[in-house]
Amino acid sequence: MTASAAASPATSPQGEVLLAVNNIEVIYDHVILVLKGVSLALPRGRIVALLGGNGAGKTTTLKAVSNLLASERGEVTKGSIEFKGERIDRLNPSELVKRGVVQVMEGRHCFQHLTVEENLLTGAFTRSASRGEIKADLERVYAFFPRLKVRRASQSGYTSGGEQQMTAIGRALMARPTTILLDEPSMGLAPQVVEEIFEIVRDLNAREGVSFLLAEQNTMVALRYADYGYILENGRIVMDGDAESLRSNQDVKEFYLGLSSAGRKSFRDAKHYRRRKRWLA
């Protein structure tokens, strides 16, 4: 891809690859082509961001990995997905969680009528751990999210959006994953809370070595916390590179961060320019 070559000399992130998505195509309902050949790599212990606008295919990519597509009548029709070198595209979500890949879905999806603590405990469902071990893990999650400890006995439907996002991430942690697929954690949250959530993600990454594949619309924030980024447009990766280089890239600045050297351009100019650009790519 010409665009990615321009963005950075490296064409894939550095490090031992934990999760590899190779040229996958996803079709919904047998007719709607959503992903048109997406490839990406998540190295061990890194945070990789998947960026792009609404409907670009970020969520679909994550769901293809976690195998939640089937229940939405979606299907991976081409390509392969590998985790630690093994194909995982035919595994059901439960087996995948056992191997250490958990998705935190967009919109948090807490179990509303369960308490915060019960929500966390459901995360450990696939593990055959002893009571003591689970208890210790619960404390570990509470150490990362002290606010959850305070609200442990409240029904999670009555907790705030930020607390629900924390519950959702904490619940995933209870499965002791090596990889978390985190979908749009900033959605509907105040900027301050978004920072708080991302700080915790960075913390988890640094202290527990959890790798993150992070789908975000909020490009600015995501690129500050991620090591590497892919930009998805219309079901294709149009650009990728180190977070640093993406942040300083002229196109990214213009389209996703809304900045440009000549001041803010009008949306019409941008649209026109972008249309031309797509033909070139």
Partner 1 sequence: MQFFLEVLIGGLLAGVMYSLVALGFVLIYKASGVFNFAQGAMVFFAALTFVGLQEKFGLPFGVTLALSLAAMVVLGVLTERIVLRPLVNQPQITLFMATIGLTFFIEGLAQLIWGTEVRRLDLGIQDEPIEALMERFNILVSRFDVAAALVAGVLVAVLAVFFNKTRIGRALRAVADDHQAAMAVGIPLKQIWAIVWSVAGFVALVAGLLWGARNGVQFALTFVALKALPVLILGGFESILGAIVGGLIIGASEKLAEVYLGPMIGGGIEGWFAYIMALLFLLVRPEGLFGEKHIDRV
Binding site for partner 1 (CB under 8 A): 66, 68, 71-72, 92-94, 96-98, 102-105, 109-114, 118-119, 121-123, 125-126, 155, 157-158, 161, 171-172, 175
Considering the complex, state which of residue 173 and residue 232 has its C-beta at the smaller distance from partner 1.
173
For β-strands 74-83 and 101-104, DSSP reports them as unpaired
The minimum distance between CB 93 and partner 1, in angstroms, equals: 5
d(CA 209, CA 219): 23
The minimum distance between CB 113 and partner 1, in angstroms, equals: 5
Q: What is the 8-class DSSP label of residue 71?
A: G
Of the candidates 1, 3, 2, 7, the residue with the CA atom closest to the CA atom of residue 242 = 7
24 touches 79 (CB < 8 A): yes
Considering the complex, state which of residue 179 and residue 245 has its C-beta at the smaller distance from partner 1.
179
The minimum distance between CB 228 and partner 1, in angstroms, equals: 24
Considering the complex, state which of residue 108 and residue 247 has its C-beta at the smaller distance from partner 1.
108
Considering the complex, state which of residue 72 and residue 133 has its C-beta at the smaller distance from partner 1.
72
Considering the complex, state which of residue 175 and residue 201 has its C-beta at the smaller distance from partner 1.
175
The minimum distance between CB 42 and partner 1, in angstroms, equals: 18
The minimum distance between CB 182 and partner 1, in angstroms, equals: 12
The minimum distance between CB 127 and partner 1, in angstroms, equals: 9
Backbone angles phi, psi at 193, to 5 degrees: -70, -35
In one-letter notation, the amino acid at residue 175 is A
Considering the complex, state which of residue 7 and residue 69 has its C-beta at the smaller distance from partner 1.
69
What is the helix (H) or strand (E) element at residue 196, kind and residue range? helix 191-208
d(CA 136, CA 241): 39
Listed in order, strand segments (DSSP E) in 73-198 are 74-83, 86-87, 101-104, 179-183
Considering the complex, state which of residue 113 and residue 274 has its C-beta at the smaller distance from partner 1.
113
- List the structure tokens of 193: 């809370």
The minimum distance between CB 107 and partner 1, in angstroms, equals: 9
Bridge partners of 80, per DSSP, are: 22
Sheet containing 32-43: order of strands: 32-43, 17-28, 74-83, 86-87
d(CA 105, CA 91): 18
- List the structure tokens of 130: 């002893």
